[in-house]
């Protein structure tokens, strides 16, 4: 028998053995007839690879690759399939403590850019800066990874090293960085004088609502009369934490509406009767996602004046779904809308008072303007 006939026989056998499987799948998952051909194609290729590939294949890795390929075909930088290791890293990150280098990243225009560098972290110690473009991780170009995979590869076991290729001002340099435990204190407050409180929110993780509440109440005890909320270089995070904070500063009514493809809507609302203090919010081009939800709600309800530059423009909502092998799927399922019905995905939020941060600035001119605006509000009371 010729080699060609053997191969044809294997394919026919594989396809035939798939028929019963397909019938069961169609019944169980309500698959319509038009999808059967694609399922036959997929299972036929899978069986052929398992039978004829030059070395024995790991069936789990084969399926992981197939699922990952499906997600990548969406062309959405915020949707990603995570194997067991990557999924565990994601959970550690959202819980607020993980092994990493202390930077947050944004994914836009097919680039991976550092949005912020946390104080007293490995990234800050080697000289990484907001605005740096990451071009490779341990020698692998970021173009060969899904955008959010880059973050997963940068994180790792405490004490191990990762090398980032950084492009800055037209030049590329490698930075070897030793990972450390990163404890995220995501909301910190301080009195600025003249009754002005200041709370910086670095990101929205599980404990951010509690941290903001503690800082807010501490400032009240110190005689706060007005509040500046700093959302600059805040990449977002958990919408639930954002809503917790909004319930302390956004007047009663809608905070954000989450609208899915079929038009179904989930509305998160504030129960706060009225704002206790005049508020100014600082935003910039790296304020994204949950940051934009909070800023948009405060702007639409008239509870705050926004100062700075236009925000990032990430108005999509992801859900993380645990799967059967301790893996997971992060998938964009909806877009969010501000109380006035604005969808800011791809457009961002315009500040009420635009203030650019000059290059090589020696003072924080945006914060200075925010203090000036807040003082005017306090004088008008």
Catalytic residue among 116, 205, 291, 314: 314
State pLDDT tens for residues 277-326.
999 999 999 899 999 999 999 999 999 999 999 999 999 988 889 998 88
| Strand 111-117, strand 196-201: pairing | unpaired
* Contact in structure between 333 and 317 (CB atoms under 8 Å): yes
Task: Examine residue 307 and state whether it is found in any structural domain, yes or no.
Answer: yes
- Expressed as residue numbers, the domain containing 347 is 185-379
Region for residue 263 given its phi and psi (left: phi exceeds 0; alpha: psi -120 to 50; beta: otherwise): left
Confidence at 130, pLDDT banded by 50, 70, 90 = confident
pTM, entire model? 0.71
| Strand 111-117, strand 180-183: pairing | unpaired
Task: Examine residue 323 and state whether it is found in any structural domain, yes or no.
Answer: yes
Catalytic residue among 289, 291, 311, 316: 289
Task: Examine residue 225 and state whether it is found in any structural domain, yes or no.
Answer: yes
Task: Examine residue 351 and state whether it is found in any structural domain, yes or no.
Answer: yes
pLDDT at res. 125: 94
| Domain match, 153 and 253 both | no
| Domain end marker among 164, 182, 200 | 182
- Report the C-alpha dihedral over residues 150, 155, 159, 165, rounded to 10 degrees: 20
Position with higher pLDDT, 84 vs 211: 211
Task: Examine residue 64 and state whether it is found in any structural domain, yes or no.
Answer: no
**Side-chain half-sphere CA neighbours of 101 within 13 A:** 29
Name 316's bridge partners. Answer: 335
* Contact in structure between 357 and 284 (CB atoms under 8 Å): yes
| b/e sequence 187-224, b meaning 16+ C-beta within 10 Å | bebeebeebbbbbbbbbbbebbbebbeebbeebeeeeb
| Domain match, 191 and 337 both | yes
pLDDT at res. 157: 82
| Domain match, 375 and 250 both | yes
| Domain match, 212 and 345 both | yes
State pLDDT tens for residues 185-219.
789 999 998 999 999 998 998 899 999 999 999 99
- Whether residue 257 lies in the annotated active site: no
- Whether residue 314 lies in the annotated active site: yes
| Domain match, 253 and 279 both | yes
How is residue 143 annotated by DSSP?
G
Task: Examine residue 170 and state whether it is found in any structural domain, yes or no.
Answer: yes
State pLDDT tens for residues 147-197.
667 887 898 888 999 999 999 989 999 999 999 988 777 899 999 989 999
State yes or no: pLDDT of 10 exceeds 80.
no
Position with higher pLDDT, 115 vs 197: 197
| Domain match, 210 and 245 both | yes
Indicate which CATH number applies to the domain containing 222. 3.90.226.10
- Whether residue 289 lies in the annotated active site: yes
Task: Examine residue 65 and state whether it is found in any structural domain, yes or no.
Answer: no
pLDDT at res. 299: 98
| Domain match, 291 and 342 both | yes
| Domain match, 205 and 120 both | no
Catalytic residue among 132, 230, 284, 300: 300
Q: How many Cβ atoms sit within 10 Å of the Cβ of residue 347?
A: 12
Average pLDDT across the chain, whole number? 88
Domain count of the chain? 3
Task: Examine residue 266 and state whether it is found in any structural domain, yes or no.
Answer: yes
* Contact in structure between 197 and 226 (CB atoms under 8 Å): yes
């Amino acid at each position: 028998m010729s080699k060609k006939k053997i191969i044809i026989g294997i394919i026919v056998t594989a396809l035939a053995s798939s028929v019963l499987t397909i019938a069961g799948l169609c019944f169980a998952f309500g698959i319509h007839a038009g999808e059967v051909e694609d399922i036959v194609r997929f299972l036929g290729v899978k069986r052929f690879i398992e039978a004829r590939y030059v070395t024995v294949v790991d069936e789990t890795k084969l399926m992981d690759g197939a699922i990952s390929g499906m997600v990548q075909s969406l062309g959405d930088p915020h949707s990603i399939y995570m194997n067991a290791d990557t999924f565990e890293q994601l959970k550690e990150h959202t819980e607020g403590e993980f092994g990493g280098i202390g930077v947050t990243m944004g994914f836009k225009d097919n680039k991976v850019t550092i949005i912020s560098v946390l104080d007293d972290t490995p990234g800050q110690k080697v000289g990484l800066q907001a605005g740096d473009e990451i071009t490779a991780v341990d020698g692998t170009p970021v173009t060969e990874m899904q955008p959010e995979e880059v973050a997963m590869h940068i994180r790792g076991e405490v004490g191990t090293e990762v090398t980032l290729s950084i492009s800055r001002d037209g030049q590329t340099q490698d930075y070897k960085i030793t990972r450390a435990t990163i404890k995220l204190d995501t909301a910190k407050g301080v009195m600025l004088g003249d009754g002005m409180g200041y709370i910086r929110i670095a990101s929205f993780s599980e404990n951010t609502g509690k941290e903001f509440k503690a800082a807010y109440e501490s400032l009240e005890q110190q005689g706060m009369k007005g509040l500046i909320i700093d959302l600059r270089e805040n990449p977002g995070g958990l919408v639930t934490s954002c809503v917790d904070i909004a319930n302390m500063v956004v007047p009663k009514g809608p905070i954000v509406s989450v609208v899915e493809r079929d038009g179904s809507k989930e509305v998160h609302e504030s129960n706060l009767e009225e704002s206790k203090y005049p508020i100014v919010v600082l935003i910039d081009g790296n304020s994204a996602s949950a940051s934009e939800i909070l800023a948009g709600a405060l702007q639409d309800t008239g509870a705050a004046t926004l100062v700075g530059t236009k925000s990032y423009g990430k108005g999509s909502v992801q859900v993380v779904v645990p799967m059967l092998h301790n893996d997971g799927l992060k998938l964009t399922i909806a877009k969010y809308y501000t109380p006035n019905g604005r969808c800011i995905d791809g457009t961002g939020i315009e500040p009420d008072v635009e203030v650019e941060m000059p290059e090589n600035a020696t003072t924080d001119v945006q914060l200075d303007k925010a203090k000036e605006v807040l003082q005017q509000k306090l004088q008008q009371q």
